[in-house]
A and B are shown apart, each in its own frame.
Chain A
Amino acid sequence: MPAQSNPHQDELAELALKRVLASGAEYGDIRLLDSTTQTIRGEDRRIASIGESQDSGFGIRVLYHGAWGFAASSVCSLEEAPRVAELAIEIAKGSASVASERVKLAEEPVHRDRVVTARRIDPFSVSIEKKTALLLETMEAVHRQAGIVRSSVSLWASRDCKLFVSTEGSRLEFDLLALSGDFDATAVHDGRFATRSFNTPHLRMGYELIEGANFLAEAPRIASQAVEKVQAPITEPGLYDLVLDPEHLSLTMHESCGHPSELDRALGYEANYAGTSFLTTDKRGTFRYGSPHVNLVADNREPETLAATGYDDDGVACQQWDIVRDGIFVGYCTNREVAPKIGETRSRGSNRADSWGSVPIVRIANIGLEPGAATLDELLADVKRGIYIEGHGSYSIDQRRYNFQFGGDAFWLIENGKRSHMVRDVVYHGITPDFWGSCDGVADRSHRRRYGFITCGKGQPGQSGWMTHAASHARFRNVNVIGGQAGS
Chain B
Amino acid sequence: MNTTGHKTWPKLTSREEFRFLADLVLKHSTGDHTLMSLHDQQSGTTRFANNHIVQNVDTRRGSLRVTVAFGRRHGTAGTTDFTAGGLQEAVAKATQIARLSPDDPEYLPPVERQQYTTSPTTRPETAVAGPARRLEYTNEAIGQCRMENLGAAGIVSSSVATVGVAASTGLFAYEERTDARFSLTVQAGEATGWAAAAHRSIDHLKIQERTLTAIDKAKRGLETRELPPGRYTVILEPAAVAGLWSSLLRTLDAKAYEKGTSAFSGKLGRLIVDKRLTLRNLPAHEDLLGCGFTADGLPTVASNWITDGALTQLAHDRFTAKKQGIDKIPTLDAPCLSGRGSSLPTLQELIKSAERAILVTNFWYIRTVNPTDLTLTGMTRDGTFLVENGTIVSAVKNFRFHESPLRVFNQVAAFTNPSEAITSETGKLLVPAMTLREFNFSSVTRF
Q: Which residues of A contact B (CB under 8 A)?
A: 44, 46-57, 59, 67-76, 80, 83-84, 87-88, 90-95, 97-101, 127-129, 132, 136, 149-150, 186, 188, 191-193, 267-273, 275, 278, 357-359, 361, 394-400, 402-403, 405, 407, 425, 427, 429, 431, 459-461, 482, 484-488
Q: Is the CB of B155 within 8 A of A403?
A: no
- State whether A150 and B381 are in contact (beta carbons under 8 Å apart), knowing that A51-B78, A128-B100, A461-B157 are contacts in the complex: no
CA gap between A429 and B57 in the complex, in Å? 38
Residues of A within 8 A of B105 (CB): 46
Q: Beyond A51-B77, A399-B365, A461-B45, list 7 extra A-B contacts (CB 8 Å).
A: A67-B53, A74-B63, A90-B131, A193-B371, A270-B49, A398-B400, A487-B375
Q: Is the CB of B62 within 8 A of A75?
A: yes
Residues of A within 8 A of B265 (CB): 191
Partner of A75, one of B60, B106, B373: B60
Q: Is the CB of A68 within 8 A of B9?
A: no
B197 proximal to A (CB < 8 A):
no
Q: Is the interface of B mostly helix, strand, loop or mixed?
A: strand
Q: Is the CB of A273 within 8 A of B78?
A: no
Q: Is the interface of A mostly helix, strand, loop or mixed?
A: mixed
Q: Is the CB of B59 within 8 A of A186?
A: no
CA gap between A44 and B317 in the complex, in Å? 15
- State whether A94 and B1 are in contact (beta carbons under 8 Å apart), knowing that A53-B78, A405-B377 are contacts in the complex: yes
Q: Is the CB of A272 within 8 A of B154?
A: yes
Residues of B within 8 A of A132 (CB): 100-102
B419 proximal to A (CB < 8 A):
no
Partner of A87, one of B54, B58, B185: B58
CA gap between A72 and B55 in the complex, in Å? 13
A207 to chain B, nearest CB (A): 16
Residues of A within 8 A of B142 (CB): 98
A135 to chain B, nearest CB (A): 9
Residues of A within 8 A of B1 (CB): 90, 93-94, 97
The chain B residue with its CB closest to the CB of A397 is B365
Question: Considering only CB atoms and an 8 Å cut-off, how many residues of chain B contact the other chain?
Answer: 95
Q: Is the CB of B58 within 8 A of A51?
A: no
Partner of A71, one of B58, B81, B440, B445: B58
- Among A92, A97, A398, A429, which residue has the most Cβ atoms of chain B within 10 A? A398
- State whether A486 and B56 are in contact (beta carbons under 8 Å apart), knowing that A186-B261, A357-B61, A394-B367 are contacts in the complex: no
Q: Is the CB of B377 within 8 A of A394?
A: yes
CA gap between A56 and B54 in the complex, in Å? 26
- Among B366, B402, B403, which residue has the most Cβ atoms of chain A within 10 A? B402
Q: Is the CB of B370 within 8 A of A484?
A: yes
* Residue contacts A-B, CB under 8 angstroms, 19 given: A46-B106, A52-B77, A68-B54, A69-B56, A73-B59, A74-B62, A80-B10, A88-B58, A90-B2, A94-B1, A97-B135, A98-B53, A98-B142, A188-B261, A268-B153, A398-B379, A399-B381, A405-B369, A486-B407
Q: Is the CB of A425 within 8 A of B364?
A: no
CA gap between A273 and B54 in the complex, in Å? 14
Residues of B within 8 A of A71 (CB): 57-59
Residues of A within 8 A of B102 (CB): 46-47, 132, 136
A102 to chain B, nearest CB (A): 10
B304 proximal to A (CB < 8 A):
no
The interface bits of chain B over 115-156 (1 if a CB of A lies within 8 angstroms of the residue's CB, else 0) are: 000000000000000011001001100100000000101110
Q: Is the CB of B56 within 8 A of A68?
A: yes
Residues of B within 8 A of A92 (CB): 56
The interface bits of chain B over 290-302 (1 if a CB of A lies within 8 angstroms of the residue's CB, else 0) are: 0000000000000
A71 to chain B, nearest CB (A): 5
A39 to chain B, nearest CB (A): 9
Q: Is the CB of A52 within 8 A of B93?
A: yes
Q: Is the CB of B446 within 8 A of A91?
A: no
